[in-house]
Structure 1
Amino acid sequence: MSTTAETPTTDRVRVQGPQKLGPLTPLVGEWEGDAGLDLSYHNQDDETSHTSYFEKASFKPIPIQENGRQVLWGLSYSMTAWRHGEEAMDPFHDEIGFLLWDKAHGQVIRNVVFGRGIAILAGSDAQVGDRVLHFDAKPGDPSYGILQNRYLMERAEIKDFTSSFTFHDDGTFSYTSDLLLRLSATGAEMHHTDQNTLHRVRRFHPSVEIG
């Protein structure tokens, strides 16, 4: 199963307009992807294996955010995934959060909460038009850090988080996500990875109620 789109041919995304959302500009809209691939440890089977999935995502502009002299533009977003064959059932993954652009400091920020009791604030340097955006976090980092509930700390402690969004010439975007976990069940560390490529199914315009 293919999980990546064509490699970008230039270093910058060309988008018209003021781009107040900076490098987040291409994400506005609703998206779907059917090539998701998850690699994780399955407690019931005591094994690490792949799961393929279908996914829906939404990225909506939010009001300008001001922290004193800091000005942030951003998007509220959600991403929900269903295992193939279970699209009419409950999703196996759900996350909500914000993507923020700090123009003055050249930073993109991902503020995300996962339904399983994990909260991550991740980010990195970025410029307007970047085709690849990175969102990284480490436990204990005072700026870009990780929190998780007590059970997960004991059973699957997160040691590192890296993620990237890549914009492609055909209008799709792909992402990768990597959680480095220390698993008590195996006594070892493993990489829990996710990747997918999504295409836009709805654009937001001034005449359209975003809600």
Structure 2
Amino acid sequence: MSVLGPLEQFVGKWEGNVGVDSSYHNKEDEIAKTTYFEKAWFEGPIPIVENGQQSMHGVKYEMVAWRHGEEDMDPFHDEVGYLLWEETTGQVLRNFAVPRGLAILAGGDATPDSRSLTFTSTPGDPCYGLVQNKYLLRRAEAKSFESTFTFNDDGTLSYKSDLVLKLEQIGKELHHTDFNTLHRVD
């Protein structure tokens, strides 16, 4: 088994054309769905991460998405981060940032041969939390985050994510969800 444990299966370049984003669209003042094309790069292993007695192995990644019909324009989503594996505790970590001013450290349990990995995060959690800029905190406060990556029997990688937001504009919580299935291109 690789030092990357369950993260080994991520390494490579991936693309997916069946993405669906369900979120609040400010310009239209409505909750709507956007379909998208996505590219993802997972590079690893990165140099070993050591915090005293703790040792983690990981991959660096980037996920970029374009609305269908806008593939030649700027992407509507760009995310950079790391996936980390701590074998001694069976923990997987996903830490990433998006240029909106949101950073998330999410975690979960896994085994070296896990085919599905779930990461959760809650604001204020001392282990797996999230932070956001002042504007977002006032207008689109992040209440929780959960994402699951699943490696399918046909060799594809599917994910779903749910970022719960308290939106000032609509006066209630909204589940901003994304899902896609990607296939390895390299």
- 3-state DSSP of counterpart to 2:13: strand
> What's the counterpart of residue 36 of structure 2?
53
Distance 1:84 1:190 in 2: 23
User: Are 1:35 and 2:14 counterparts?
Assistant: no
Distance 1:60 1:111 in 2: 15
Match of 1:113 among 94, 97, 100: 97
Distance 1:169 1:40 in 2: 30
> What's the counterpart of residue 51 of structure 2?
67
* Bigger Rg over Cα: 1
| Alpha-carbon offset, residue 73 of structure 1 | 0.4
Distance 2:99 2:111 in 1: 31
Q: Normalising to structure 1: TM-score of the pair?
A: 0.87
Q: Please, what is the CA RMSD of the aligned residues?
A: 0.5
| Alpha-carbon offset, residue 92 of structure 1 | 0.1
- Counterpart of 1:35, as a letter, is V
Distance 2:87 2:115 in 1: 16
- Counterpart of 2:179, as a letter, is Q
User: Are 1:24 and 2:4 counterparts?
Assistant: no
Q: Normalising to structure 2: TM-score of the pair?
A: 0.98
- 3-state DSSP of counterpart to 2:185: strand
Match of 1:184 among 151, 158, 168: 168
- 3-state DSSP of counterpart to 1:24: helix
> What's the counterpart of residue 74 of structure 2?
90
> What's the counterpart of residue 139 of structure 2?
155
- Counterpart of 2:142, as a letter, is I
- 3-state DSSP of counterpart to 1:143: coil
Deviation above 3 Å: which 4+ runs of structure 1?
A: none
| Alpha-carbon offset, residue 64 of structure 1 | 0.9
| Alpha-carbon offset, residue 34 of structure 1 | 0.2
Where does the alignment leave 5 or more consecutive residues of structure 2 unmatched? none
User: Are 1:103 and 2:87 counterparts?
Assistant: yes
Greater fraction of residues in strand: 2
Deviations 1:40-90 (A, max 9, x none): 001111100000000000000111111111110000000000000000000
Distance 1:98 1:124 in 2: 14
Distance 2:170 2:72 in 1: 33
- Counterpart of 1:53, as a letter, is Y
Deviations 1:150-184 (A, max 9, x none): 00000000001000000011111100010111000
| Alpha-carbon offset, residue 115 of structure 1 | 1.2
| Alpha-carbon offset, residue 19 of structure 1 | 1.6
> What's the counterpart of residue 123 of structure 1?
107
Where does the alignment leave 5 or more consecutive residues of structure 1 unmatched? 1-17, 203-211
Distance 1:68 1:184 in 2: 43
